[in-house]
Amino acid sequence: MTGIETISEQRCHDGVQGFYRHHSESCRGPMRFAVYQPPRATREACPVLYFLAGLTCTEETATIKAGAQRLAAELGLILVMPDTSPRGTDIDGATGDWEFGEGAGFYVDATQSPWASRFRMHSYVASELPALMAQHFPVDGERAGITGHSMGGHGALTIALRHSQRFRSVSAFAPIVAPTQVPWGQKAFPRYLGEDVARWADYDACELVRRQTFDGTILIDQGEADGFLTTQLKPELFDQACAEGGQSLVLRRHAGYDHSYYFITSFIEDHLRHHAEALGRL
């Protein structure tokens, strides 16, 4: 494929699981992403679902651990799993801290030096990657959904709320819903976005949903045994914000489940069916 380097492709549930690399204009360097093409993609354009992973993760994490390919093959959904940040940036302080920098892009467009030069994951996921998919893969760009886990759940919610004309369905697993109010966001946002807290609101799902709702129901699953539940995630804040903003929300809490991909793989089928229904596959 012109402009895309194929790292590997494997047969999977009669479809193709591929890993790719390209030069990103948004992030000004190489970016990796994974794509699962169901069998139906050889015959027609298919709806596409983007899965955004969390802190420390790569394009391989959800691809390998979530167990989404079997049902995606059945439903005829293309799955896209991007990396969580640019890599090899050579920016001082970009590595060595799992909560910030490489592997922790927080799906924002950084405005502060030196991060603004490379860390533009919001534009990458919301605009550049969908355009790349439309150019090189058999996707139906009019039927796109987005989901994610933890930091990626934060990305999915904020990108969907800000680009509701581009995404027709949204869900999240254990998302960071109020980064402006929790330690993860309060650590990363000043460095990426500056000290003006008002600017942080564009990347806070609770703030966004009060002023602009999503046309459709948002699905969120949260484990009650999640070690980050009370300090970093606080789903009750999004529940309240959705009630105030008039947003349709299904928030499901599950006793005994933690923050791991064992939790995600337990409920991934519900999420795929949620998106498939909204995207016209059910």
Q: Assign residue 88 a region: left if phi > 0, alpha if psi is -120 to 50, beta otherwise?
A: left
Which residues carry out catalysis? 150, 226, 259
Burial class (CB in 10 A: 0-12, 13-18, 19+), 259: buried
Rounded Cα–Cα distance for residues 193 and 202 (Å): 10
| CA dihedral (204, 121, 229, 144) positive or negative | positive
Q: Which residues of 89-109 are buried (b: 16+ CB within 10 A; e: fewer)?
A: bebeebeeeeebbbbbbbbbb
| 48 beta partners | 78, 144
Q: Which residues of 186-195 are buried (b: 16+ CB within 10 A; e: fewer)?
A: eebbebbbee
Pairing of strands 5-12, 15-24: antiparallel
Q: Which residues of 41-51 are buried (b: 16+ CB within 10 A; e: fewer)?
A: beeebbbbbbb
Written as one string, the DSSP assignment of 135-193 is HHS-EEEEEEEEEEBTHHHHHHHHHHHH-TTT-SEEEEES----GGGSHHHHHHHHHHH
Within 13 Å of residue 154, how many CA atoms lie on the same side as its CB?
30
Q: How many other β-carbons are positioned within 10 Å of the β-carbon of residue 211? A: 9
